[in-house]
Chains A and B, each alone.
Chain A
Amino acid sequence: MVKKGIMTFQTTPSIASTGVTAGPLERKSPFNEQFDKVYEDERSDLTTNEQGHAKMIEDASMIALSKIDATPSDADYLLIGDLVNQMTPSNFCASSLQIPYLGMFAACATSVSSLLMGALLTESNLSTCALAGAGSQHNAIERQFRYPVEYGSQKPKTAQWTATAAGIAVVTPFKAGVPKITKGTVGRVIDLGTTDPLNMGAAMAPAAMDTLQRHLKGHRTKESDYDLIMTGDLGETGFTIFKELATRQELDISSNARDAGEEFYGKDPKFLAGASGAGCSSAVYFSYVYNEMMKGTYNKVLLIATGSLLSPLSYQQGETIPCIAHAVELTMK
């Protein structure tokens, strides 16, 4: 039977623990209290931004492992990614942790794509402890995709601020008392022809809607079945469009839909449309959402991480922005 990217996990792989690290500016986030470690220095006192980036992912991994009294030698797989060229921060982190490593790239949707990969390895009995997650570091990513950090360019209200954060989840076989990965939907690349890299939310919203519809249809669930449907980093503009698309598809998500990027900096207008970056969804999903599930606030959660798969090269060559969204369903039960 054709599955078309619709995944159901029979053995319910579980998220045994999580670790989240964030930069100094992220103290302004309302989720600040939930982060495990917040650095005083955005480079965590290392020389380059990229080194700081790698350290942040490494620390998040170590924190997540330490919560289940494990060390890197107990882990089977490291499934991480970031947005820097060839993902060197993840590569250096993997070099230091010495956990068998599969680099994951789905831009800002890597938080969920890596989680799905972890669940698949666990489901097929190939892993007992897989680390999944992603990170981003503001300075390193801005220089990669936009302008030098100190360059003065007027950003529109639709622009988003790349978050400095990393989030890691430890995926293990079934474990009681922690959130379980029950279902997933692998996204398709959706490109509706937008070209403005300072309005990524608008580029990504249709991908998020496509994945939401396919998830609901493929798993025969309703949007009202979820206590929370959280998109990754659509930001204020993208999330408004997402809600409008939902209305047009006659989906009622007004009471349970939220966006991690829009809320990440507490809707502070200084951060324009909100946060973006692979670390944004990872940090919120693996701290706030995870903790609220542990507390019992949410039982059934649908996480739809969104990513725009452009590069500075494709943008300068006049290409459109291809986008993707991956969904994962977590239940506490």
Chain B
Amino acid sequence: MSIFITAFIVGGLISVVGQLLFDVAKLTPAHTLCILVVTGSILDGIGWYEPLIDFAGAGATIPITSFGNSLTHGAMAEAEKHGFVGVLTGMFEVTSSGISAAILFGFIAAVIFKAKGKN
């Protein structure tokens, strides 16, 4: 049960970091998201992201930081087995369900929806 609470809090806190990058650092959404992705990747490199997932569940897997984490995780897993070549092959082997889902649903949305400028 407590995983629901930690998911809410951790997910909320990562969003707050994003909001601070918007409002205080005056970054565009694109810059903010890139920084978060890179952060997720580095956190996995030093081995902190997986414990965060254990602690917060979706609170750590739903924010965009987890995208950097899962890519890095895949690359490192291959590197562990095959050394330097593994970094590359790992990169190519890693597929994110986020990207495939976004491509598929983006296409479906284009088929069925029209943009509306209603306020």
On A, residues with C-beta under 8 Å from B are 25, 42, 49, 138-139, 142-143, 148-150, 153-154, 161, 164, 270-271
A161 touches B119 (CB 8 A): yes
On B, residues with C-beta under 8 Å from A are 22, 29, 115-119
Which 4 A-B pairs have CB atoms at the shortest separation, nearest pair first? A138-B117, A149-B115, A139-B117, A149-B117
A150 touches B29 (CB 8 A): no
A270 touches B119 (CB 8 A): yes
A153 touches B29 (CB 8 A): yes
Number of CB contacts from chain A to chain B under 8 A: 24
Name 6 interchain pairs, CB-CB below 8 A, sorted by A.
A138-B117, A149-B117, A150-B116, A154-B22, A161-B119, A271-B119
A42-B116, A161-B119 known; 15 other A-B pairs, CB under 8 Å? Answer: A25-B117, A25-B118, A25-B119, A42-B117, A49-B115, A138-B117, A142-B117, A148-B115, A149-B115, A149-B116, A149-B117, A150-B116, A153-B29, A154-B22, A164-B117
Q: Chain B nearest CB: distance from A83 CB in Å?
A: 14
B115 touches A139 (CB 8 A): yes
The closest CB in chain B to the CB of A142 belongs to B117
Distance A149 CA – B118 CA, assembled complex (angstroms): 9
Chain B residues with Cβ under 8 A from A49's Cβ? Answer: 115
Distance A49 CA – B117 CA, assembled complex (angstroms): 10
The closest CB in chain A to the CB of B19 belongs to A154
The closest CB in chain A to the CB of B113 belongs to A150
Chain A residues with Cβ under 8 A from B117's Cβ? Answer: 25, 42, 138-139, 142, 149, 164
